[in-house]
Every structure is written in C-alpha cells, then in structure tokens.
C-alpha cells in the first residue's frame, strides 16, 4: 500500500483528468464542507469579483483577531495571520487586497504594543518584516499607483511607532522615510 507521502501531484492530476464535471464539483463541495480554511480559500479563488470585498473582510478579521479578538487578549499566532494573507493572495490574485491585509497586520501590531506595552523581540521582528514586505511591494510598478491610497495609514503607523522600544520605532521611521523619499524621487522624475 502506498503512503500519502508517496502520492504525487501528477498521480492525482491523471485521476482528476479522467473525472467528469459532476465528480469534480462533488469533490470541491466536500473540500468546502471539510474546513473553514477550505471555504475561505474556495470563495476567494472562485467567487464573483464583485464579492471580493466581503471575502477580503473575512481575511482581514482573521488578521485582526490575532491581535484583538472580540474577547480577551490576542494570542499573537503570527502563522495564522500570515497564512491568511498568503492564502488570500494566492487564491484571489488580488494585489490591492494582499497589500491591505499586510498593512492591517502592521497597524494592528503597532496598536497591540501601544495597548499592552513592551513585547518580545520576535514580535517586533514579525511586524517589521511585514512592513518591509509591504514597502517593497509599494515600489513595484503595480504598487506605485497604490501609494496615495495607503500613504496616510502608513504615516500613522510611523507616528504611532515613535515611542516603541527594541529600536522598532526607529526601524519603522527609516522604512517609511525611505518610501516617502522613493515616491518624492519618482514624482520629480515624472
């Protein structure tokens, strides 16, 4: 008997290609019913584009809930929030939505430390890493057109980070100052 680890995508693909549409729809329906993660992924991947804001909001709430759940203190399971961002991005291909989730992650990280005080180094590294990725995307051709949309929120992250320890406030200031300089240069070159 073969182990799951012995099964390859090529094997599954051959089998799926032999299936008819009804079988495939039934398999997708079973995956949909199997878990909430599957449901969100399938909705993000296949839903009508006009419904994207609703799906994006579900993913945004996942990110926020890791910092500020409806009850209690956030568990700070970075992997859960990061998975939501990655899953949404891969399923929907929505670049703006991905950036929205990334900035939401950074905003809530800053809000969390301002609310609850000094956190550990890993916390600041995770928030800073996400902010770095966000800023890198802003510099891409696709991201450059979005800067006006995100600018005020980004500047607020910088302002709200000023007094944060572990050199985090300084790192955020440098990142956002570099972004401001980048877009000033882009504007001057135009």
| pLDDT tens sequence across 32-82 | 777 777 776 777 677 677 878 899 999 999 999 999 999 999 999 999 999
User: Percent of the chain having pLDDT more than 90?
Assistant: 59
Whole-number Å distance between alpha carbons of 29 and 117: 45
Return the residue matching tokens 């079988």: 23
Residue 105 to residues 89, 99, 173: CA-CA distances in angstroms? 14, 10, 17
Whole-number Å distance between alpha carbons of 53 and 189: 34
CA geometry: angle 79, 167, 65, nearest 5 deg: 30
Whole-number Å distance between alpha carbons of 128 and 57: 23
Has residue 3 got a pLDDT over 70? no
Whole-number Å distance between alpha carbons of 64 and 83: 13
| pLDDT tens sequence across 4-24 | 567 787 877 777 788 787 877
Return the residue matching tokens 């928030």: 127
Whole-number Å distance between alpha carbons of 160 and 176: 12
Whole-number Å distance between alpha carbons of 88 and 82: 10
Whole-number Å distance between alpha carbons of 49 and 35: 23
Structure token pair of residue 170: 């300084």
């Amino acid at each position: 008997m073969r182990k799951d680890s012995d099964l390859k995508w090529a094997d599954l693909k051959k089998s799926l290609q032999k299936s008819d549409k009804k079988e495939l729809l039934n398999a997708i329906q079973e995956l949909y019913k199997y878990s909430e993660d599957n449901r969100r992924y399938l909705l993000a991947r296949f839903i009508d584009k006009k419904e994207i804001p609703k799906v994006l909001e579900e993913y945004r709430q996942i990110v926020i809930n890791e910092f500020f759940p409806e009850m209690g203190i956030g568990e700070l399971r970075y992997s859960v929030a990061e998975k939501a961002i990655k899953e949404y991005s891969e399923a929907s291909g929505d670049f703006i939505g991905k950036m929205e989730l990334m900035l939401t992650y950074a905003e809530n990280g800053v809000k969390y430390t301002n609310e609850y005080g000094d956190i550990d180094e890993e916390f600041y590294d995770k928030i800073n890493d996400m902010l770095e990725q966000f800023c890198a995307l802003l510099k891409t051709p696709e991201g450059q057109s979005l800067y006006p949309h995100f600018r005020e929120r980004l500047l607020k992250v910088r302002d709200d980070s000023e007094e944060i320890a572990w050199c985090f406030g300084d790192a955020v200031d440098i990142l956002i100052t570099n972004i401001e300089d980048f877009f000033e240069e882009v504007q001057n070159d135009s």
